[in-house]
Structure 1
Amino acid sequence: MIDETARALVDFTRRYCDSWIEACGHPPASSELYGIPSPCVQQTTGEEVRWLPQPFTLAKNLENIERALDIRIQPAVVAWYTTQFAGDMHVRIDGQPCTLLQVWSEEDFERVQENLIGHLVMQRRLKQSPTLFIATTQSELEIVSVCNLTGEVILEKLGAKGRKVLAATLEQFLVSHVIDTER
C-alpha cells in the first residue's frame, strides 16, 4: 500500500509540475510559501516562490502520531506525508477547488504531525472515527481526509458525522482529480 501510494503521488506531482510548466512556462508557484525555507525552492520572484518536489529526507513513518495516540496509521497516509517534500497542489474535486497538503520541509513535517494529532484528539473527544486530513477546501468547515479505518478518501465536515466517499483509496483519488493551475 505504501509503495502504490508513493508511486501515485510522485506521478501526480510530476503531472502537476508538467501542467504548470506547459501553462505558465515555469514550475509551480506559490505566494503562500514565499520566504519559507525548503529544499523545494527553485527560484524566488517578486512575492512568490517556484518549486519542484524533492526526496523526503527523514524517517518514513508517522510513529510520533501513532505513539501519542496509541493508533496505527493507514499506510497510504504514511506514504502521503513521507514520500516527498513539495508545495501544496491545487485540484478540483466535483468542480470545487481544493488544496492537496504536502510537507514543505523538515520543520514543516513536525508542524503537520502536531496538527494531525490535534485533529485526531478532537475526533476522539467527539467520539468520531479517526480520519487524517490530506486537503483543504474553500470552506473552513470541510476537509478531504483518509478514513483511518477503511482507507477511503472522504469529504468531511469538521465536528459533524456526515461524510462523503470520494474514492476507495488514495491512489484512486490521485488518478481521478483534475489539476488546477489557475490559482
Structure 2
Amino acid sequence: MDEQTALALKSFTTRYCDEWQEKNNSWPMSEELYGVPSPCIISTVNDAVYWQPQPFEGEQNINAVERAFDIVIQPALHAFYTTQFAGDMPAQFANETLTLLQTWSEDDFRRVQENLIGHMVTQKRLKLSPTLFIATLDNELDVISVCNLSGEVIKETLGTRNRTVLASSLADFLTQLKPLL
C-alpha cells in the first residue's frame, strides 16, 4: 500500500473531525447516511447519524477494478479506497469546492468498485485514458480524479478530454485539502 497516501488521508480526516468537533462539539454528522449500516456510526439522532472513521476491513486493494480491465491501478488509489471507512467530507482545494468520497462500509466498497468500473468502461468506449474518481464537484459533469497513467490528480469533465492537473500526486492533493464545514 502507498503509505504516503494513507497517511495524508488519515491526516486530512483528523483535521476534518477536529474542526467539526471544535465547531459542533461532536463527531461529524450526516443526514445522507442515515439508515445506511456502517462500522463508523457512533449514534443515530432523529434523521441523522454521527460517525467516526474506522480502519478498513477486508482486502486492502481495488483488484476488482484491475481484473475488469486487466490493468494495474496506481498504488495510491488502492490506499485511498482501503485506508478507512468514513463519511464523505466536504473540502476546499485551491478554488475548488468538493466532496471527498469515502467508503462507508464493506457493501459501499463493493458499490464504489462497480461505479469505478462503469466510469472506466465509458472512458474506454470514448478512447479516453483511464482515471478513477475520488471527489465530486457541484457541477455534476465535473469530478476530481486520479490519472491512472501519471498518478496526477486532475479535474475532469466526464465524457470529454477536458482535464486540468491539480496536484502531482494523491498524497500531495490530500495534504493541501482544507476541511469545509
Report deviation, 1:94: 3.4
1:76 correspondence with 2:62: no
1:132 correspondence with 2:105: no
Q: How many residues align?
A: 181
Report deviation, 1:177: 1.9
1:33 is paired with a residue whose SS is: coil
Query: Who is 1:91 aligned against?
Result: 91
1:154 is paired with a residue whose SS is: strand
Q: Distance in 2 between matches of 1:140 and 1:85?
A: 24
Query: Who is 1:160 aligned against?
Result: 160
Q: Counterpart of 2:168 in structure 1: which amino acid? A: A
Q: Counterpart of 2:106 in structure 1: which amino acid? A: E
Q: Distance in 2 between matches of 1:96 and 1:26?
A: 27
- 1:144-170 Cα distance to aligned partner (Å, 9 max, x none): 000000000000000110111111011
Report deviation, 1:97: 2.3
Q: Please, what TM-score do these two structures have when normalized by structure 2?
A: 0.97
Listed as ranges, the gaps of 5+ residues in structure 2 are none
User: Does the CA contact (< 8 Å) of 2:130 and 2:147 recur in 1?
Assistant: yes
Report deviation, 1:67: 0.8
Listed as ranges, the gaps of 5+ residues in structure 1 are none
2:118 is paired with a residue whose SS is: helix
Q: Distance in 1 between matches of 2:96 and 2:167?
A: 16
Q: Distance in 2 between matches of 1:2 and 1:116?
A: 19
Pairwise CA RMSD = 1.0
Q: Counterpart of 2:30 in structure 1: which amino acid? A: S
Q: 1 or 2 for the larger relative contact order (CA 8 Å, sep ≥6)?
A: 2
